[in-house]
Amino acid sequence: MGTGISTLVVGHGLPVVLVDVDEGVLERARAASATGLRHAQLTGALPAGRAPGKLRTTLSLGDAAEATVIIEAVTELPEKKAEVLAGLAALVRPGTPLISNTSGIPIDEMAAWVPRPEDLIGTHFMNPAYLIAMVEVIRGPKTADRTVESVLALLTRIGRRAVVVNDAPGFVTSRLLHPMINDAAQVIGAGTATVEEVDTLMQGCLGHPTGPLRTADLIGIDNLVDALNALHARTGDERCRPSKVLLDKVRLGELGRKSGRGFYVYSEAKS
């Protein structure tokens, strides 16, 4: 997700410092970003003729200290997000928007992790971020007006349309989409239909653009399980308890497009 967001931002001519803890991940991110830029340009998803911004990759969180906006996109595990957000908040200037690209953890819960909760706000970019123009923006109870205004201005500058919603576990998109994908996986586990049949029916009858199981592969099935666990812990909704089918996929390393196999088989793994 961080790679996709970085591709979107540099594609609109802005510089990005992309931080990770593994050089191999950063190497794949550089290659994936270059491929994503070509794809987005060919499909007209980026401004024609605009020179891309510079993408710098680094293993040091300190290299983000001069950023004017922070977008955190680590996995949906509270302890990891807390560590990264607290570290970044200690580095950047007060008033710098701290954006968590989260799929379900409430922003008010995250506010306890940073010294200036007024700077904290949530976004939920859809994957791939450089192709999907709509972004869910989550305003926490302590989020300042100036933070909302800054983030909306940034999203406009990078060609995104934003819908601002109130804080709650899963917000709108994840609260509706993730249990649906979980249900679709249970339909597969019950033998009611094949993967292709489920996706085809959801596309043709209910207008889902890709089908829920193809979407799961795009999200990353491990990321989906983390997000479902976060939702289940905060809502108690049994539809959010990850199904055996999803858990088995994670156990087998069948994580979706990034591993080359999920509900579908892909010719090459994606970063």
Backbone angle region of 40, left / alpha / beta, with phi > 0 → left and psi within -120 to 50 → alpha: alpha
pTM of the model as a whole:
0.90
Number of domains in the chain: 2
Which two structure tokens, joined as six digits, stand for 171?
A: 């917000």
User: 64 and 85 in contact (C-beta within 8 Å)?
Assistant: no
- Structural domain that includes position 82: 2-166
Question: β-pairing, 134-139 with 120-125?
Answer: antiparallel
- Are 116 and 206 in the same domain? no
The phi and psi torsions of 71 (rounded to 5 degrees) equal -125, 110
- Of 166, 196, 223, the residue that ends a domain is 166
pLDDT in tens, 126-139: 988 988 999 999 99
The residues annotated with a catalytic role in the active site are 124
- Are 9 and 136 in the same domain? yes
- Are 11 and 131 in the same domain? yes
202 pLDDT more than 60: yes
Instruction: Spell out a b/e string for 112-130, using b for 16 or more CB atoms within 10 Å of the CB, else e.
Output: ebbebbbbbbbbbbbbbbb
pLDDT in tens, 127-183: 889 889 999 999 999 999 999 999 999 999 999 999 999 999 999 999 999 999 999
270 pLDDT more than 70: no
Q: For residue 210, what is the domain's CATH number? A: 1.10.1040.10
- Are 73 and 159 in the same domain? yes
Q: Is 264 part of a structural domain of the chain?
A: no
pLDDT at 48: 83
User: Cα separation of 77 and 162, whole Å?
Assistant: 25
* Average pLDDT along the chain: 95
Taking CA 34 as the corner, what is the angle to CA 31 and CA 38, rounded to the nearest 5 degrees?
140
pLDDT at 197: 98
Question: β-pairing, 70-72 with 134-139?
Answer: unpaired
241 pLDDT more than 90: yes
- Are 98 and 139 in the same domain? yes
pLDDT at 81: 94
- Are 155 and 190 in the same domain? no
Q: For residue 123, what is the domain's CATH number? A: 3.40.50.720
- Are 147 and 192 in the same domain? no
- Of 137, 166, 195, the residue that ends a domain is 166
Q: Is 64 part of a structural domain of the chain?
A: yes
Q: Is 35 part of a structural domain of the chain?
A: yes
pLDDT at 268: 58
